[in-house]
Amino acid sequence: MPTSRWLPYLLIAPASVFLAVFFAVPLVQTIVLSFDGGTAGFFGNYQRMLGDLNFNVSLRNTFMLVLTVVPLQMMLAIGMGLMLQKMQRGRDVVLWIWTIPLGVSDLAAGLVWLAILQNTGYLNTFLFHLGVIDGPTAWLNSETPVTLFIAVAVAEIWRSTAVVLVIIVAGLQLIPKEFGEAAEIFGASPWQKLTRVTLPMLKPSLQSALILRTVLAFEVFAAVYAIGGRNIPVLVGEAYVWQRDNQNYSVAAAYAVLIMVISLAATAVYLRLLREKPEARA
Amino acid sequence: MAKAQDLIFLSTQLRPIDEAQKVRDVILKGAPKTSYVVDEPSPFTVRMKAEVEANKHTISLVGALHGELQPLLPMGALEPIDDVAASLKDRGIPAGLMDLGKLGTGKQMYIPWMQATYVMVVNKKALPFLPAGADVNALTYQQLAEWGKTMNEKTGQRRLGFPAGPKGLFARFLQGNLYPSYTASMVTEFRSAEAETMWNDFKAVWAQSNPNSTSYDFMQEPLMAGEVLVAWDHIARVKDALQQAPNDYLVVAPPAGPKGRSYMPVIAGLAIAKGAPDRKGAAELIMHLTKPETQLITASEVGFFPVVNATLPANLSPGVKLLAEGVAKTQTAKDAVVALLPVGLGDKGGEFNKVYVDTFQRIVLRNEPVRATLDAQADVMRSIMAATKAPCWAPDKASEGACPVK
Amino acid sequence: MAAITIEGVSKRFGAAMALEQLDLNVADGEFVALLGPSGCGKTTLLRIIAGLETRSSGRVLIGDRDVSDLPPAERGLAMVFQNYAVFPHLTVFENVAFGLRMQKRDEATIRRQVNRAADLLQIGPYLDRYPAKLSGGQRQRVAVARALAVEPAVLLMDEPLSNLDALLRLEMRAELKSVLKEAGTTTLYVTHDQTEAMGLADRIAVMHKGVIEQIDTPTRIYSKPSSTFVGGFVGSPPMNFLKLEAKNGVLACEGFSMPLAHDGPVLLGFRGEDVRLVDASQGLAFAVRVVEPMGSHLLLTGQVGGERIRVVAAPQAEIASGMTLGLQLDAARVVVMDTQTGKAL
């Protein structure tokens, strides 16, 4: 039948058109917009972005958050995944509870932590009753950058570790238990078993989780905004401010392009570092 | 739900559900059949832009702040309404306000709808700590700093508060209250010696301000929580605190500097969208909303004050009454100076605000040298003025061409 | 090298008994196969010996050491898994060297022992490759080499050949036998394939429902099964059983009689190849239903009385279905079982 030759293309057409219209076109528009500097020239928006007083701060904060949050949550997720594997009973219930944050939006997660950590929040109430503090203590303002950063990092870890956990758990389930048993029989300690056998075999899952989380972590915003407002500027937050408050869409676009470039670069680094040896591929 | 035949009135003001309901049930009673729709400022701008670009019009009447209507002009979303202005001549809207509605053009682009201003709210608990000889109704910035210091020493916490959070109106404080009080200018004297003094004085004030100020959006919340005892904000953003406990608070004029006690009136205006599906209905609605009776109802229901000549009734709720007194004290202070909302900035209003907030951040929060920071930020200011070619507005003296930065 | 001693090992999974009070001795250097159908507990027993599974009671000794509560690594054994468990991220060399590296042996020793194991298993040329590039048989060799490289006292193998195709399995079987003979390692080998067990093992332990039914040399397991289960499970075709009545110290039927110190009904077991086919007028009347030429022999399925019997005939015999033949049994080559217990008398 002549139609059968076209059928596959016909079937992928809606998805392709959807992507082109709602992803590729806005992407190109954003890039074009970011170079539309008006009188300031081709790189005018980028110059304004780089010259802005919050640029360095937000770049540093974003990188520090990524470098803190992602490794910590990878470790946490691996630990949690391994614990789940050891569980005989109640595994599904625990996994279910641990993945609840998946269903909570970034903003809601931020607000939850705000309620805990703000001046009159649960943490202070608790500490007050313990007698550790003698009145509302501020943790989240511009004069307490360290606790503010920790609060944001904790909220981000709480919110997004579940994604990593799900990927790791799926990856762990793909490793037949005999590999671990073989390692045990041949004398590997639990730590050696983890580093010499489990983690190398988990590499594809780790790679997916790392790429996914890092790219998303570079886009961190809502939780930061909810907890710290603009006291802890991050790149996406600056893009938002330039668009919403300063109503300069071009500089906002420059931020967007910068974030995209950083994300792509991070992905490329991961793909290279965690590349499977070609001869090892089945 | 908006019915297709209804006139659509899109507003960035009176957004909270209870206020919007009062607009629908009380304020719009007796007006042409209207769907009252609200939106936040940012999506509001996007929506107006989208309607212009798509050339598909659903909105007839627009209600928004002066500063939010301004960017609609360059995108061609507003219809000149000199005819409506002409038929409103007998309402007694001050000429100065009507002029603001021209947005720097020769034609009437919006009709003033309601007004408000920024005031200081004082919790009566703070009064015992007032510096000796200071009058709470006629404070200076030095006295404010001293007051804050005493409160800090006596209560163990910094009790002054400013809405310097992401959605706060702190930029208006800097533009409308602080700068003109010290320099009698908003733009021209941006980097003057007086401005230098001003920033140094304000550092002392900030040192006594609650560290959470950079997170405050609406001061009524920290006021109600007792975190802050003395706060500056827009009247609509302290209203809840006053209505909840009218006996706990005073509303006073903001502090004065060497050049007087500056205040900034806030104007919300009504404009007709270009290509409005029902221009005639929109004009009738403007007539309704600017009727003295409607204006008085608006004041007592939502706390925005009349732009027309109308006397407030005696039976206002205690909270609104406090606000009305506060506004009156602010406007009638003997050293009062009026600082107008920026005119003619088009879509650069946001970046104009950013100049002030950035300057504040650098000088006060990051402790950068005052002189150098002012010089650098003045360059940014100059480029905005050059790009918009906006002439000076009060309290700066009128200029030929773009308002200069000395 | 060491002997394995299992004393009264039981394993309970909830209410189910997987192993019941099991005893087993494997002599130093001996090769014992654990043979049984799936679910008989043979893998559970192996894993308990390895330390990968906990026991409910009993002791496991390797040499004279009680290893019951030691972790697997300290039991001095190596194991080959059904799916090989060859690490895909390590080269063949590193796979074989894995156990030695874990023991922190010096580089020269590692190299020497890896090379020796690789030579033994003929995987020398592949040492630099990754397992993904190897065939199933080659991976199997790597798994065995990895086990032998640590020179274990005891080697445990769990169905190591079951993932190979038939031809390769035959080849590997012969090779394993010679390699293990050369290494001289005490080996416990789990399989459900009786030909593997018969071909490889010094002794076979036939397991059924958590107990060892019989442990003996392959020949005796085959010819003198201790129960109807063993007789039926081992051998192809399985052992035939005829229900007879013993009277006055004699068990007799058409053309056959033997003394038996037991009166009443018994089962007479005999192998299909242990009968002589004679004229229908002599011996037991055997009605042939199906004739299957198997190349090396003819497999006849038919009936004696009401019972199904399978008999092997010479390939050139002219037998067709529908014929009736006579079966003559040899008293030296039969077993007699209790009808109630199924155990040999």
Q: Render pLDDT for A85-139 as a digit per residue (tens, 0 to 9).
A: 888 888 889 999 998 888 888 888 888 888 888 877 888 888 888 888 877 777 8
Q: Name the phi and psi angles at C163, rounded to 5.
A: -90, 5
Q: Would you say residue B365 lies in a domain?
A: no
Residues C194 and C305 in one domain: no
C79 at the A interface (CB within 8 A)? yes
Q: How distant is the Cα of C83 from the closest Cα of chain A, in angstroms?
A: 8
Q: Would you say residue C194 lies in a domain?
A: yes
In this structure, what token pair is assigned to residue C25? 């001795």
Q: Above 70 in pLDDT, residue C234?
A: yes
Q: How far apart are CA C173 and CA C179, in angstroms?
A: 10
Residues C168 and C51 in one domain: yes
With a CB cutoff of 8 Å and minimum separation 6, the contacts of A173 are none
The residue whose two tokens read 């038929």 is B87
| DSSP of A2-38 | HHHHHHHHHHHHHHHHHHIIIIIHHHHHHHHHHT--G
Nearest-Cα residue of chain A relative to residue B169 = A245
Q: Above 80 in pLDDT, residue B68?
A: yes
Q: Would you say residue B298 lies in a domain?
A: yes
Against chain B, the chains showing at least 3 CB pairs within 8 Å are: A
Count of A-B CB contacts under 8 Å: 59
| DSSP of C81-124 | -TT----TTS-HHHHHHHHHHHTT--HHHHHHHHHHHHHHHT-G
Question: B206, B354, B380, B389: best mutation site toward chain A, by most A Cβ within 10 Å?
Answer: B354
Q: How distant is the Cα of C161 from the closest Cα of chain A, in angstroms?
A: 16
B257 DSSP β-pair partners: B260
Q: Do A245 and B353 touch (CB under 8 A)?
A: yes
B372/B316: higher pLDDT: B372
Residues C136 and C241 in one domain: no
The residue whose two tokens read 């109640």 is A90
Count of all residues that appear for chain B in the document = 406
Q: Do A279 and C82 touch (CB under 8 A)?
A: no
Predicted pLDDT of residue A38: 65
Predicted pLDDT of residue C317: 86
Q: Would you say residue B89 lies in a domain?
A: yes
Chain A neighbors of C50, CB-CB under 8 A: 181, 185
Q: Do A119 and B365 touch (CB under 8 A)?
A: no
Q: Would you say residue B102 lies in a domain?
A: yes
Residues B145, A208 contacting (CB under 8 angstroms): no
Chain C neighbors of A176, CB-CB under 8 A: 83, 85
Indicate which CATH number applies to the domain containing C324.
Answer: 2.40.50.140
Predicted pLDDT of residue A131: 84
- SS3 (DSSP) at B326: helix
Domains along chain A with CATH numbers = 43-275 (1.10.3720.10)
Residues A49, A251 contacting (CB under 8 angstroms): yes
Q: Exposure string (b/e) for A249-266, b if CB count within 10 Å is 16 or more?
A: bbbbbbbbbbbbebbeeb
Chain A neighbors of B353, CB-CB under 8 A: 245-246
Chain C neighbors of A281, CB-CB under 8 A: 132
Nearest-Cα residue of chain A relative to residue C154 = A185
Cβ neighbours, 10 Å, residue B334: 7
Minimum-distance CB partner of C132 among A182, A200, A280:
A280
β-pairing, C57-62 with C4-13?
A: antiparallel
Q: Would you say residue C343 lies in a domain?
A: no
Chain A neighbors of C88, CB-CB under 8 A: 201, 280, 282
Q: Do A141 and B347 touch (CB under 8 A)?
A: no
Q: How far apart are CA C47 and CA C26, in angstroms?
A: 16
Least confident piece of the model among B10-19, B373-382, C95-104 = B10-19
Q: Above 90 in pLDDT, residue C167?
A: no
Q: Do B42 and A138 touch (CB under 8 A)?
A: no
Chain A neighbors of B166, CB-CB under 8 A: 225, 229-230, 241, 245
Q: What is the pLDDT of residues C39-58, one digit of tens each?
A: 899 999 999 999 999 999 99
Domain count, chain B: 1
Q: Do A186 and C89 touch (CB under 8 A)?
A: no
Cβ neighbours, 10 Å, residue B87: 13
The DSSP call for residue C184 is: T
Q: Above 50 in pLDDT, residue A153?
A: yes
Residues C139 and C267 in one domain: no
pTM: 0.79
Minimum-distance CB partner of A178 among C51, C85, C89:
C85
Chains B and C touch (3+ CB pairs under 8 A): no
Cβ neighbours, 10 Å, residue A94: 14
Q: Do B354 and A246 touch (CB under 8 A)?
A: yes
Q: Do C73 and A184 touch (CB under 8 A)?
A: yes
Residues C259 and C192 in one domain: no
First to last CA, chain A: 36
Predicted pLDDT of residue B4: 53
Biggest CA pair distance of chain B:
64
In this structure, what token pair is assigned to residue C130? 């990754």
What domain range is C114 assigned to? 4-226
With a CB cutoff of 8 Å and minimum separation 6, the contacts of A150 are none
Q: How distant is the Cα of B358 from the closest Cα of chain A, in angstroms?
A: 7
Count of all residues that appear for chain C in the document = 345
Q: How confident is the model at residue B82 (pLDDT cuts 50, 70, 90)?
A: very high
Indicate which CATH number applies to the domain containing C215.
Answer: 3.40.50.300
With a CB cutoff of 8 Å and minimum separation 6, the contacts of B320 are B239, B242, B243, B299, B300, B303
The DSSP call for residue B209 is: B
The residue whose two tokens read 């992602």 is A70
Q: Above 80 in pLDDT, residue A41?
A: no
Q: Above 50 in pLDDT, residue B374?
A: yes
Predicted pLDDT of residue A48: 87
Signed CA dihedral, B300, B72, B350, B405: sign only: negative
Q: How confident is the model at residue C260 (pLDDT cuts 50, 70, 90)?
A: confident
Predicted pLDDT of residue B139: 94
Q: How far apart are CA C254 and CA C329, in angstroms?
A: 10
Interface of chain A toward chain B, CB-CB under 8 angstroms: 39, 53-54, 119-120, 135-136, 138, 140-144, 225, 228-231, 241, 243-248
C104 at the A interface (CB within 8 A)? no
Q: How far apart are CA C78 and CA A185, in angstroms?
A: 6
Alpha helices in chain C, H assignment, sequence order: 42-50, 92-102, 107-121, 136-149, 166-183, 194-200, 218-223, 228-233
Minimum-distance CB partner of B214 among A54, A119, A229:
A229
Helices (H) and strands (E) in chain C, counts: 8, 20
Q: Would you say residue B295 lies in a domain?
A: yes
Minimum-distance CB partner of B166 among A53, A229, A243:
A229
Q: How confident is the model at residue B183 (pLDDT cuts 50, 70, 90)?
A: very high
Q: Would you say residue C231 lies in a domain?
A: no
Residues B307, B114 contacting (CB under 8 angstroms): yes
Q: Would you say residue B287 lies in a domain?
A: yes
Minimum-distance CB partner of C132 among A200, A201, A281:
A281
With a CB cutoff of 8 Å and minimum separation 6, the contacts of C165 are C136
Predicted pLDDT of residue A280: 52
Q: How far apart are CA B392 and CA B399, in angstroms?
A: 5
Indicate which CATH number applies to the domain containing B32.
Answer: 3.40.190.10
Q: Would you say residue C344 lies in a domain?
A: no
What domain range is B308 assigned to? 7-116+266-315
Q: Exposure string (b/e) for B31-51, b if CB count within 10 Å is 16 or more?
A: bbebbbbbbebbebbebbbeb
Domain count, chain C: 2
User: What value, to the nearest 5°, has the Cα angle with vertex C322 and ends C317 and C328?
Assistant: 55
Q: How distant is the Cα of B352 from the closest Cα of chain A, in angstroms?
A: 8
Q: Do B365 and A142 touch (CB under 8 A)?
A: yes
| CA nearest neighbour of B253 among B323, B310, B302 | B323
C77/B16: higher pLDDT: C77
Count of A-C CB contacts under 8 Å: 68
Last residue of a domain, one of C175, C195, C226: C226
Cβ neighbours, 10 Å, residue C213: 23
Q: Would you say residue B299 lies in a domain?
A: yes
Q: How far apart are CA C200 and CA B266, in angstroms?
A: 98
Residues C143, C171 contacting (CB under 8 angstroms): no
Minimum-distance CB partner of B358 among A53, A135, A243:
A53
Q: Do B212 and A144 touch (CB under 8 A)?
A: no
Q: Would you say residue C100 lies in a domain?
A: yes
Signed CA dihedral, A71, A76, A77, A79: sign only: positive
DSSP-based helix, strand, coil % in chain B, nearest 5: 50, 15, 35
Q: Mark which residues 56-75 of A lie under 8 Å from C by CB.
A: none
The whole-number average pLDDT for the span A7-33 is 90
Interface of chain B toward chain A, CB-CB under 8 angstroms: 42, 45, 71, 156-157, 165-166, 211-215, 225, 227, 347-351, 353-354, 358, 361-362, 365-366, 387
Nearest-Cα residue of chain C relative to residue A202 = C89
Q: Above 60 in pLDDT, residue A1?
A: no
| DSSP of A222-238 | HHHHHHHTTSS--HHHH
Q: How distant is the Cα of A143 from the closest Cα of chain B, in angstroms?
A: 7
In this structure, what token pair is assigned to residue B244? 């909840």
Chain C neighbors of A178, CB-CB under 8 A: 81-83, 85
Q: Do B157 and A135 touch (CB under 8 A)?
A: yes
Cβ neighbours, 10 Å, residue A45: 26
Chain A neighbors of B350, CB-CB under 8 A: 245-248
Q: Do C79 and A187 touch (CB under 8 A)?
A: no
Q: What is the pLDDT of residues A172-202, one digit of tens each?
A: 999 999 999 999 999 999 999 999 999 999 9
Q: Would you say residue C108 lies in a domain?
A: yes
Q: Do C102 and A186 touch (CB under 8 A)?
A: yes
Q: How far apart are CA B302 and CA A63, in angstroms?
A: 45
Chain A neighbors of C129, CB-CB under 8 A: 279
Q: Would you say residue C250 lies in a domain?
A: yes
Q: Would you say residue B279 lies in a domain?
A: yes
Q: How confident is the model at residue C264 (pLDDT cuts 50, 70, 90)?
A: confident
Q: Do A282 and C132 touch (CB under 8 A)?
A: yes
Mean per-residue pLDDT of chain A: 88
Predicted pLDDT of residue C131: 92
Q: How far apart are CA B238 and CA A111, in angstroms?
A: 23
Percentage with pLDDT > 70 across chain B: 99
Last residue of a domain, one of C197, C226, C255: C226
Q: What is the pLDDT of residues C3-21, one digit of tens each?
A: 999 999 999 988 888 899 9
Percentage with pLDDT > 90 across chain B: 58
Q: Do B166 and A120 touch (CB under 8 A)?
A: no
| DSSP of C262-279 | --EEEEEEE-GGGSEEE-
Predicted pLDDT of residue A282: 46
The DSSP call for residue B140 is: B
Question: B152, B212, B217, B361: best mutation site toward chain A, by most A Cβ within 10 Å?
Answer: B212
Q: How confident is the model at residue B2 (pLDDT cuts 50, 70, 90)?
A: very low
| DSSP of B41-80 | HHHHHHHHHHHHHHT-----EEEEEHHHHGGGTTTT-EE-
Q: Above 90 in pLDDT, residue C247?
A: no
Predicted pLDDT of residue C279: 85
Q: Do C71 and A176 touch (CB under 8 A)?
A: no
C255: left (phi over 0), alpha (psi -120 to 50) or beta: left
A193/B99: higher pLDDT: A193
Q: How confident is the model at residue A229 (pLDDT cuts 50, 70, 90)?
A: confident
